[in-house]
Copies of this chain bind each other. A is one copy, B any other.
Amino acid sequence: MTEDPDRPRQRGAYAKGIARRQEILDRAIEVFAERGADRTSLRSIASAVGVTHAALTHYFGSLEELLVAVYQESTVPERQQPDTLPADASPVERMIESARTNREVPGLVQLYSTLVATALEEGRPAAREFATTRFSRLRREIAATVREQQEAGRMRQDVDADAVAALVVAASDGLQTQWLLDDSAPQHEALALLDRLLRPGSR
């Protein structure tokens, strides 16, 4: 016999591990929604989730990695409301819609801000990788939309697609923060203004 008799059992253990990890992650998402992402420790989350500290470390490594996993799991398309955007929606309209769906998940915007702030610190590779990858992917996707809209005549031609993409992402993030702190901040007006400034023939 050349087959490894342990193979099926290993595979079963692996599948069980995946399921257990997902179970912990689902519960962690609820815990974060209730208590926020900061002032917390892997130990206190383990206790709230109902697993040992060792189990949490086994599945997620560090608090930083768990936070990234919680954010990513909370923003997978299947967990979010389907968006209601027309196919020719502008980049700014897309960011407004995305900000709206993220706001519906309790604690998600706070978790995002915490992850970005953590990414700026030294020695935080998981948060940095998360934030850098997210910004880079968003800029690339938005720049592609800008080029399409420029070709279709729905966006002014004399703007660089990559600069527009970076500006739209920055404006969306920054205005969300200002509005969460103070709902008199003109988030909607400022995004509508940016949208208008980018249309052809705006003067």
Closest residue of chain B to A175 (Cβ to Cβ) is B170
Residue A182 interfacial (CB < 8 Å): yes
Enumerate chain B residues within 8 angstroms of A166, measured Cβ to Cβ. 175, 178, 185-187, 189-190
Are A113 and B117 neighbours in the complex by a CB distance under 8 Å? yes
Enumerate chain B residues within 8 angstroms of A39, measured Cβ to Cβ. 121
Q: Report the bound CA distance from A79 to B132 in whole Å.
A: 31
A: residues with CB less than 8 A from B are 36-39, 109-110, 113-114, 116-122, 128, 131-132, 135-136, 139, 156, 158-160, 162-164, 166-167, 169-175, 177-178, 180-182, 185-187, 189-194, 197-198, 201-203
Contact of A117 with B114 at beta-carbon distance under 8 Å, contacts A160-B189, A174-B169, A203-B203 already known: yes
A37-B121, A132-B181 provided; 20 other pairs, C-beta below 8 A?
Answer: A36-B121, A36-B122, A38-B121, A110-B117, A113-B117, A136-B182, A139-B185, A159-B193, A163-B190, A163-B192, A164-B190, A167-B190, A170-B170, A170-B173, A170-B177, A170-B178, A171-B171, A173-B173, A197-B198, A203-B203
Are A175 and B167 neighbours in the complex by a CB distance under 8 Å? yes
Nearest-Cβ distance from residue A108 to partner chain B, whole angstroms: 11
Q: Report the bound CA distance from A118 to B81 in whole Å.
A: 27
Enumerate chain B residues within 8 angstroms of A198, measured Cβ to Cβ. 197
Closest 4 CB pairs of A and B: A170-B174, A117-B117, A113-B117, A163-B189
